[in-house]
Amino acid sequence: MRFRNRSILLFITALWLGGCSGPPALRTLAQDAVAAMGGAEKLQGVKTLAMKGGTGTRLRMGQMVKATDQENPAQLKDVVDIADLGNGRASLDYALQLGGFMQHRHEILTKKGDKSIGIEIVGTRPIIATTPGGLFSWGTQNSPEFLLRRNVVTIALSAAESASDRQPAIDKELNGKMYKYGTAQTKSGEDLGLYFDPQTRLLAAYEVIDTESILGDVPAQYILSDYKTADGLTLPHHITVRKGGKDYSDVQFVSIAVNDPATEQVFAIPDSAAEEADKAAAGDEYSPMKIVKVGNGVYHAVGYSHHTLIVEFPQWLALVDSPYTETQAKVLFRAIQEQFPTKPVKFVAVSHHHYDHIGGVRTSAAMGATILVEKGNEPVLRPLLEARHTHPQDELDKRRNSQPAQQAGAIEVYEGKKIISEGGQSLELYPVSFPEHVDPMVLAYASSARALFQPDLYTPPAAANGGPPAQHLLQALKQLNLRVDTMVGGHGGIGTFADFLKAAAPAASSN
């Protein structure tokens, strides 16, 4: 009997030892990763992360010539990404080059009192303030707010808290190497896929659904490498991001500063933006916007840098372009409602598919407008309008997925010239190929004011030489036989056709 009891005990012990030698639980792996980075106490003590000296690439900017073209990567340099985890602030500061286009941009999510606001500093433009949804970025992320949710410290701590202590990890391959893989959740309840390096015990990558302003809900993959010591922590200095199965950003940082007091000055509101910051802090949605009359029944809605044409018909309005951001579109529609209280926006025509000129299109559809899209731009616009937007949920997604679903505008695809007319007013849309920039670009002509609206090819009221784009535009207008008196810009302001002729003249020979 004693021998039998001893055998049973040995058998149970063997089973227990066998269980202990099996795959580690996910929580153990997540806690080990936190320990390898410096420990939970140190990570929890991180208030600010300043990643400096970054160089790399950025894609998914939507600047292709044709909507179906493969996108060329933009070069990023002098990248400084700052996440103020303690105060809910973040900053994207970088220099961007795409072909011959170069721009220094700085988007800042900061606070005035307890209200979050955005500050946008771009090249020589005036510094502006907006509500956070008005920020537009071509940096490592689509918005600085991503840095607060998609940084390694926040992700690692969330994984250590939420990963299962019973579910074992599985082996899973990533980029030709095997990792220990499992799932967890972010602090806000988003699902995470986690890849742990069995040799270093560090978090090698994570997967999550990101909601991009243009792309909508996309599976995102963050690959973390080049872990080095930074102020007593071990942190990744090379971050590669893929979204929707395609390369998004890839940046190597020189250094990372933890809890650096100098980061505080980054979040100070510039004096030149103080008045607008007050407006942004006071309202639900704010972005600079004013409506200027162009001529008979034609208006120019002037935003921060990207603008809209408004054409007034007897019973309704038609717009050309709803650019930049969802916030700008909301402010635009509010301004239109104030100035034209009895006239709904029936149509919003899209000039071209570049992302910075279509950021408000989903909001326009949510407001009930039919989105007019030339066939060449459809491959970008249709997915944009059909995508889910859940984190955060935008107005169009709310309307479509409410119970019962609320009415929203639809896409209307046309090919070639399209004319909208009623009661003596007309808006004529002419798609033209401009291979130096985009194909097609829809030129919008409002007959009542003899006004032509276009973005990117010519910036009114400039009279200085506009180079090949302006010259090509002049050729197109001659071929279309349009009588134009006024040029209205998707950028810039309002100018005379005479000034445009000067800008479109061939440059004088230097010989």
Burial class, 322, CB count within 10 angstroms (exposed 0-12 / middle 13-18 / buried 19+): buried
Q: Is the pLDDT of residue 2 over 80?
A: no
Residue 354 tokens, joined: 């570049």
Q: Using N-to-C axis directions, what is the helix angle for 497-504 and 467-480, rounded to 10°?
A: 120
Residue 230 has what pLDDT?
Answer: 97
Q: Are 79 and 89 spatial neighbours (Cβ–Cβ below 8 Å)?
A: no
pLDDT band (50, 70, 90) for residue 507: confident
> Which residues share a beta bridge with 295?
298
Tell me the CATH class for 287-504: alpha beta
Instruction: Please tell me whether the overall predicted TM-score, pTM, comes out greater than 0.85 for this model.
Output: yes
The candidate with the shortest Cα–Cα distance to 294, out of 453, 491, 425, 421, is 453
Tell me the CATH class for 26-260: mainly beta
How do residues 431-461 score in pLDDT, each as one tens digit? Answer: 999 999 999 999 999 999 999 999 999 999 9
How do residues 10-69 score in pLDDT, each as one tens digit? Answer: 443 443 334 445 678 999 999 999 999 999 999 999 999 999 999 999 999 999 999 999
Q: Which regions of 339-384 does DSSP assign to beta strands (E)?
A: 345-349, 370-374
Half-sphere exposure for 498 (CA within 13 Å, toward CB)? 0
Residue 158 tokens, joined: 């969330």
Q: Is the pLDDT of residue 3 over 50?
A: no
Q: For the chain, give every domain's residue range.
A: 26-260, 287-504
The span from the CA of 434 to the CA of 476, in Å, is 9
Q: Is the peptide bond before 404 cis (omega within 30 degrees of 0)?
A: yes
Arithmetic mean of pLDDT over the chain: 94
Q: Is the pLDDT of residue 8 over 50?
A: no
Q: Are 235 and 37 spatial neighbours (Cβ–Cβ below 8 Å)?
A: yes
* 3-class SS of residue 471: helix
Q: Which regions of 273-366 does DSSP assign to beta strands (E)?
A: 290-295, 298-302, 308-312, 317-320, 345-349
How do residues 191-230 score in pLDDT, each as one tens digit? Answer: 999 999 999 999 999 999 999 999 999 999 999 999 999 9
The span from the CA of 247 to the CA of 221, in Å, is 9
Residue 508 has what pLDDT?
Answer: 66
The span from the CA of 144 to the CA of 91, in Å, is 5
How do residues 457-477 score in pLDDT, each as one tens digit? Answer: 999 999 999 999 999 999 999
Q: Which regions of 326-464 does DSSP assign to beta strands (E)?
A: 345-349, 370-374, 411-414, 418-422, 425-434, 438-446, 451-454
Q: Using N-to-C axis directions, what is the helix angle for 152-162 and 26-37, rounded to 10°?
A: 150
DSSP character at residue 85? T
Count other Cβ atoms within 10 Å, centred on residue 13.
Answer: 10
Residue 18 has what pLDDT?
Answer: 42
